[in-house]
């Protein structure tokens, strides 16, 4: 059997046909797969079965904060090699946010950010999100065609998160450019310096944004975090910068791809699309199923905080453990008929948003945006269909399952 490498988790070919790739993983005799090298960071373990992934995500012995293991990384030589991924990791070590730290820092940072993501706050956004979705479709209706990514799936969540953060409308496209460049550069061994340049440019923008919020505070999330910083020891400057960076990137990139992947999945399963169009009450369960079947986040990572034995394998302290969220969502031992898209599925224990203390903070917002996006598209564009053959669609080389474009006609 051909050996699986880290590139397989990002290759466009496997993004196009993830089910076949998962079958390759599932065919491994061992429940933990050993990678010789994970994007220049050294050897890593991969867990892809649902129960194992859920267990690792909930187990406090598997940590996120790589700063605790810096001496071991130096010994392995990974940081010294300055690969693009290591440059990104090194930057995140210096710019901690709730996604890269453990309790008690994680608890403190998440509590500060979570004030903007309460169920009540998110539900209050419904009319505005609906308005944005309608305006985006109004802009393309006369054309009878659009690139669903560029014209709808991207602007919808970036407008929402920008308004939440108090970011000027004129700056939104810069975030798309930065996140896309960063994603591509991090996977390319020749782009180490590009990673640093993009991050520096991004952070300089946030520093300017924060300065403006100090002079002209508003009722937005950024102003609230600036106030928390100015009040004392709730978060330091690097945490403030990195938290805003995280909210910008995570607040739109995954939802872009949930909408893009989800629409493609529905177009490729016309009976499911008709069912959803005829019965909008199925939107909540449809979004959960599309998160499972076509969710954007392929993998997440943890680090063994101590020596741990799992399935008879000795995972040494400091070793990376990759968890395949998409693989877990295709596990037939947990999901009945996982290869079937079924928007009426009642029991759906997908792991698209992770598990444990790092469960995606923006999950309620992503769900709401997904429901409004799919519902509006199906009701307003009853003749929505692909404008190209599925085999012509281009996927990005990324650990997010993401389409470069999705041309449709209606």
pLDDT digits (tens, 9 = 90+) for 226-257: 998 888 767 888 999 999 999 998 888 899 99
Separation of alpha carbons 355 and 190, rounded Å: 34
**SS3 of residue 373 by DSSP:** helix
- DSSP annotation of 395: B
pLDDT for 288-343, tens place per residue? 999 999 999 999 999 999 999 999 999 999 999 999 999 999 999 999 999 999 99
Exposed/middle/buried for residue 321 (C-beta within 10 Å: 0-12, 13-18, 19+): buried
- pLDDT given for residue 39 in this prediction: 82
**SS3 of residue 161 by DSSP:** helix
Phi, psi for residue 100 in degrees, rounded to 5: -120, 5
pLDDT for 190-229, tens place per residue? 776 777 888 888 899 999 999 999 999 999 999 999 998 8
Q: Which long-range contacts (CB under 8 A, 24 or more apart) does 129-133 make?
A: 129/156, 129/160, 129/368, 129/369, 129/372, 130/372, 130/376, 132/156, 132/159, 132/160, 133/372, 133/373, 133/376
Tally helices (H) and strands (E) across the chain.
20, 10
Which residue do the tokens 């993401």 mark?
Answer: 402
**Spatial CA neighbour of 295 closest among 329, 322, 332, 321:** 329
Sign of CA dihedral 249, 122, 263, 171: negative
pLDDT for 104-140, tens place per residue? 999 999 999 998 899 999 999 999 999 999 999 999 9
343 cis-preceded (ω within 30 degrees of 0): no
**End-to-end CA gap in the chain:** 44
Band (pLDDT 50/70/90 cuts) for residue 1 is low
The class that CATH gives domain 6-409 is mainly alpha
Separation of alpha carbons 5 and 229, rounded Å: 43
- DSSP annotation of 4: P
Q: Which long-range contacts (CB under 8 A, 24 or more apart) does 203-207 make?
A: 203/95, 203/241, 203/245, 205/171, 205/174, 206/241, 206/244, 206/245, 206/248, 207/241
Cα angle: 246, vertex 395, 142; to 5 degrees: 90
Q: Are strands 320-324 and 299-304 parallel, antiparallel or unpaired?
A: antiparallel
Residue 305 CB contacts under 8 Å (≥ 6 apart), including other chains: 60, 61, 62, 63, 68, 69, 317
Domain boundaries, the chain: 6-409
**Spatial CA neighbour of 345 closest among 264, 285, 283, 273:** 285
């Amino acid at each position: 059997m051909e050996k699986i490498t880290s590139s397989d988790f990002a290759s466009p070919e496997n993004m196009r046909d993830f089910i076949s790739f998962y079958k390759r993983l599932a065919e491994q005799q061992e429940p933990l797969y050993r990678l010789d090298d994970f994007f220049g960071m050294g050897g890593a373990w991969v867990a892809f079965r649902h129960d194992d992934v859920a267990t690792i995500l909930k187990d406090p012995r598997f940590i996120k904060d790589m700063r605790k293991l810096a001496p071991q990384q130096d010994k392995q030589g990974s940081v010294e090699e300055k690969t693009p991924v290591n440059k990104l990791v090194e930057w995140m070590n210096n710019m901690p946010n709730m996604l890269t730290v453990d309790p008690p820092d994680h608890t403190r940072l998440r509590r500060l950010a979570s004030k903007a993501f309460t169920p009540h706050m998110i539900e209050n956004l419904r009319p505005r999100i609906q308005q944005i979705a309608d305006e985006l479709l109004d802009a393309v209706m006369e054309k009878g065609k659009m690139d669903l990514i560029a014209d709808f799936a991207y602007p919808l969540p970036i407008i929402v998160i920008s308004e939440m953060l108090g970011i000027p409308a004129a700056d939104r496209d810069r975030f798309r450019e930065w996140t896309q460049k960063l994603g591509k550069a991090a996977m390319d061994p020749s782009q180490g310096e590009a990673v640093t340049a993009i991050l520096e440019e991004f952070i300089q923008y946030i520093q300017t944004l924060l300065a403006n919020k100090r002079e002209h505070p508003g009722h937005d999330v950024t102003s609230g975090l600036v106030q928390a910083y100015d009040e004392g020891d709730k978060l330091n400057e690097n945490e403030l910068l990195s938290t805003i960076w995280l909210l910008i990137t995570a607040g739109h990139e995954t939802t872009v791809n949930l909408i893009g992947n989800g629409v493609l999945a529905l177009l490729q399963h016309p009976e499911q699309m008709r069912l959803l169009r005829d019965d909008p009450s199925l939107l909540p369960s449809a979004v959960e199923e599309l998160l499972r079947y076509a969710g954007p986040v392929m993998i997440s990572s943890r680090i063994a905080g101590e020596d741990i034995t799992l399935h008879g394998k000795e995972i040494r302290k400091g070793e990376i453990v990759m968890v395949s969220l998409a693989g877990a969502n295709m596990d037939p031992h947990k999901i009945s008929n996982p290869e079937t898209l079924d928007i009426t599925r009642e029991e759906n224990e997908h792991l698209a948003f992770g598990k444990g203390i790092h469960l995606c903070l923006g999950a309620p917002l992503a769900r709401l945006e997904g429901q409004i996006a799919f519902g509006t598209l199906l009701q307003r564009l009853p003749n929505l269909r692909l404008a190209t053959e599925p085999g012509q669609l281009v996927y990005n080389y990324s650990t997010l399952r993401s389409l470069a474009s999705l041309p449709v006609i209606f």
